[in-house]
Structure 1
Amino acid sequence: MINTSADNTTASRTDDEAAVLRAAMVKELRNLDAITSEPVAAAFTAVSRHMFAIDEPLEKVYDADRALVIKRDQDGTALSSLSAAHIQAVMLEQAGIEPGMRVLEVGSGGFNAALIAELVGQDGTVVSVDIDAEIVGRARTCLDAAGYGQVEVVLADADAGVDTHAPYDRIVVTAGAWDIPSAWREQLSERGRIVVPLRMRGLTRSIAFDQDGEGLLVSDSYRLCGFVPMQGAGAYTERLVRVDEGIALRVDDQQQNFDIEALAAAVRTPQLELWSGAAFDLPDELELFLTASTPEMVMLHGSQEVVDQGLLALSVTRGVPALVDGGSIAYRTKRPNAATGGFESGVLAHGPDAQAVAERYADLLRRWASDHRRRGAALLRYLPMPAGTAEPAPGVIAKRLGAVEISWL
């Protein structure tokens, strides 16, 4: 005989514990300024996150900063995940979803779609699209079990959007995108907004783009984030250029040329150290400024072994913007300095022109610290162009279907 009474008691205990943890998570998200509005707070309070993370411990599920992998490929690479509640809250605040809106979610997991369903209410529409049949089936099952049967889950390549339900007031993308497909722009309503984790020269930022009435997308809302990459027609593999054992450059431009032999020799020469006198602060804002400053700026990655050998500094282990000029390379570092408010920005450079490339880099550090050292100093515009015609330039990041233009206020 099945003991349904015991099962019900266990389920009730789980729900009670989850409710306590959920309330604590919402409080933490408020304290972190990830949640800044009452509708988003109410959505996170209403949706049982643990019903979309089956068999995971409740403490992990309701950890505001923890993402949970849903599916991996044979090599162990994450293909789909339940994003950290922190970034989900940030993106929903960026989206500004209102009751009655039509919303397309790109990338299905279930939980985020349920949050959106709470925000649009009974008169709104939520469509969630994913290219993976297994993920679509899982999302459908979880949504139904959690009481969100009104959300439509579609199996398709999101690069083409879902035109049968367009136009959308909001498109919320929950996978790392390298470009903005034409279909997403075309399926927006006149008041439409796209919130997308956009990859730009090795960095990812969640950007809330609004239509400007002239065919362009504009934004002054961008936040640091990280997501598993898009699959299907919108997939893009950044070029990884191996410089030496444990040292590589990650670049967007498949055609950009490097003197690998000269760079490999350079990193094994003594480094030049140059201190800017400028404050080191808000590293995510600074890195966006550096990355957009010139097409010569790439992401330098190095292993812990390289750091332990004394070849490169610790900043390379997580990737750092690096300025490459022929056989010379410079990248950012920092040191304690009370005179600059805590830390000072500096440059480490290698190669025959180390002094010149370090001075160029230090000038960028000083310019940012003196003119743009604050949150939200960048204005981003996405300019659609014929495929393959965009050219990289200072302040311009070329994409296949257009370009991202970044200016600083």
Structure 2
Amino acid sequence: MNAPTTDELRHQLVNDITAQTKLSPAVERALRTVRREQHLPGLDPAAAYADKAIVIKENPAGPLALSCASVPSVVAMMLTQLDVRPGDRVLEIGAGTGYNAALLAELTGPDGQVTTIDIDSDVTVHARTALDRSGYPHVQVMQRDGLQGVPEHAPYDRLIATVGMWDIPAPWWQQLADGGRLVLPLRWRGQTRSVALTRHGDTLVSDGMELCGFVPVIGQDGERTAELADGTVRVHHDQDQQVSADDLTEVFSTPPVEIWTDARVGTQEPFDGLWLRVTAFDDTVCRLEATRQAMDNGVRRPVIPARSPALISGSSLAYLIAERDDLDPERPARLGAVGYGTDGAELARALIAHITAWSADRLAVPRMSVFPAAGLEPDLPEGHVINKQDSRIVLAYE
């Protein structure tokens, strides 16, 4: 049997994506047109058309790569969120392999303009070479700090970030046209969502959020890490949250308190919407990471050891747990909370309340309104406010 051609591999990948995700017709056409293997030279074509991220530049200083070719299904989802129109002027932050810029060029057509930038010269050289190879020499590739954008080509009808962002930089406000759309992987309270926002004057308003994960942008450092239990447990929190490793030194030496709900999940059923919901109501939520050593030492296993929502206040914490009892074959796992410290039981009960509210409407997504931090104090809508360096975020369920 002959190996499939690159065209067959590409179409099969798109077929697989469309079976799981609703794409716009324009995005589907672009995915069927742009040859991803030309942006990943030397890679086996079957690997180039697998729905997986591919590292293109390792990071010798840490576990996260400096640059990746993003998961194709996530690329497709974000481009559908962006809703590019023919003739649009588009700025992409994070050049990667140039593949996403080629897709943007297909979407904007001959009358549009696509500029893709990256802070790393090796990445921009790779993207430029690949775009020339794949037939998109008109795409502009520039070595720039993504946090500053490219003001000389502004205003942009569409702006997309393909690197993880902790905040929306002030220069982007000046470069996005009124009525323009911004799509970015935005991180707050330990979780990341691809948020689609439309600019209405001095306000960005969301109309969609999707779970995702991206290599973080260089130059933003709004998240902090507190190491507990001799470094076997780590808590990742935002800089505005009052979390102190000194306060939590003895937290795991206190007896745990477990509280359970009637909320259940299936083996493959996502519950990240719970984390999202908590961020819209509670300033104590952050991400807890527990190592195997911590659990061997008696720390209760979080629902996902590497990334579970936790509530932290003073010298106490609570986090999400699960147990399998098979009472419901379709949803065999029951969700609960475990608390440690003087106020651990109270925090566990608060988390239980969030779980119960989420379980009643699991697909609900909050509306995000974003305002620039600088300038006059805005008349904020009702909702939960999260302050960042360059922006003020309001989350509300309607």
TM-score normalised per structure 1: 0.88
Cα deviation for residue 132 of structure 1 reads: 1.1
Equivalent position to 1:67, from 32, 37, 53: 53
Structure number with higher helix proportion: 1
**Partner residue in 1 for 2:36:** 49
Match of 1:128 in 2: 116
Instruction: Return closer, same or farther for 1:394/1:125 CA change in 2, 3 Å cut-off.
Output: closer
* Alignment match of 1:368 (pick from 358, 365, 389): 358
Cα separation, 2, equivalents of 1:166 and 1:94: 21
**Is the Cα–Cα contact under 8 Å of residues 316 and 340 in structure 2 kept in the other structure?**
yes
Q: Distance in 2 between matches of 1:320 and 1:397?
A: 20
Q: Which amino acid aligns with 1:108?
A: A
Per-residue deviation, 1:18: 1.2
Q: Which residue of 1 aligns with 2:125?
A: 137
Counterpart pick for 2:288 among 293, 300, 324: 300
- How do residues 199-278 of structure 1 correspond to structure 2 at under 5 angstroms? 199-213=187-201, 215-232=202-219, 235-236=220-221, 238-245=223-230, 246-253=232-239, 256-258=242-244, 260=245, 263-278=248-263
Query: How has the CA–CA distance of structure 1 residues 317 and 221 changed in structure 2, closer, same or farther, with 3 Å as cutoff?
Result: same
Paired letter, 1:107: G
Measure the CA separation in 2 of the matches of 1:188 and 1:291.
27
Pick from 311, 318, 331 the counterpart of residue 306 of structure 2.
Answer: 318
CA shift in 2, pair 1:381/1:319, >3 Å: same
Q: For 1:381, what is the secondary structure of its paired residue?
A: strand
Please point out which of 144, 150, 165 is paired with 1:162: 150
Q: CA deviation at 1:307?
A: 2.2
Please, which of 311, 336, 343 is the counterpart of residue 346 of structure 1? 336
**Alpha-carbon deviations, 1:277-325, whole Å to 9, x = none?**
2344641211111233222112111112222333121435221111112
Which structure 1 residue ranges, 5 or more long, are not aligned?
A: 1-12
**Distance in 2 (alpha carbons) for counterparts of 1:341 and 1:229:** 34
Q: What letter corresponds to residue 36 of structure 1 in structure 2?
A: L
Distance in 2 of aligned mates of 1:226 and 1:28: 20
Per the alignment, in what secondary structure is the counterpart of residue 78 of structure 1? coil
Match of 2:75 in 1: 88
The amino acid that maps onto 1:252 is: D
SS in 1 for 2:90: strand
Q: CA deviation at 1:237?
A: 5.2
Distance 2:222 2:44 in 1: 34
Question: Residue 180 of structure 1: which of 168, 174, 184 is its match?
Answer: 168
Q: What do the CA deviations read for 1:133-170 (whole angstroms, capped 9, x no partner)? A: 11111110000011000101111112121111111110
| Root mean square deviation, CA, Å | 2.4
- AA matched with 2:298: G
TM-score by length of 2: 0.90
Match of 2:348 among 339, 342, 358: 358
Which range is displaced more, 44-53 or 299-308? 299-308
- The corresponding residue for 1:38 is 25
Contact 1:295 1:394 in 2 (8 A): no
Aligned residue in 2 for 1:20 = 8
Cα distance in 2, alignment partners of residues 263 and 257 from structure 1: 9
Secondary structure of the 1:153 match is: strand
* Structure 2 stretches lacking a partner, 5+ long: none
- Quote the offset at 1:50 in angstroms: 0.7
CA–CA distance in 2 between the matches of 1:328 and 1:304?
22
Q: Which AA in structure 2 matches 1:301?
A: E
In structure 1, C-alpha distance between the alignment counterparts of 2:246 and 2:304, rounded to whole Å? 20
Cα offset for 1:115? 0.4
Percent identity at matched positions? Answer: 34
Q: CA deviation at 1:339?
A: 10
Shift of 1:40: 0.8
- 3-state SS of paired residue (1:222): strand
Distance 1:247 1:211, change over 3 A: same
Correspondence for 1:3: none
The worse-fitting range, judged by mean Cα deviation, of 241-250 and 68-77 is 68-77
* Distance of 1:353 and 1:199 partners within structure 2: 28
Q: Equivalent residue for 2:99?
A: 111
1:180-237: CA deviation from partner (whole Å, max 9, x where unpaired): 1122121112320000111112111110110123x110003011111111114xx215
Structure 1 window deviating more from structure 2 (305-314 vs 139-148): it is: 305-314
Q: Distance in 2 between matches of 1:104 and 1:338?
A: 49
Report whether the alignment pairs 1:399 with 2:388: yes
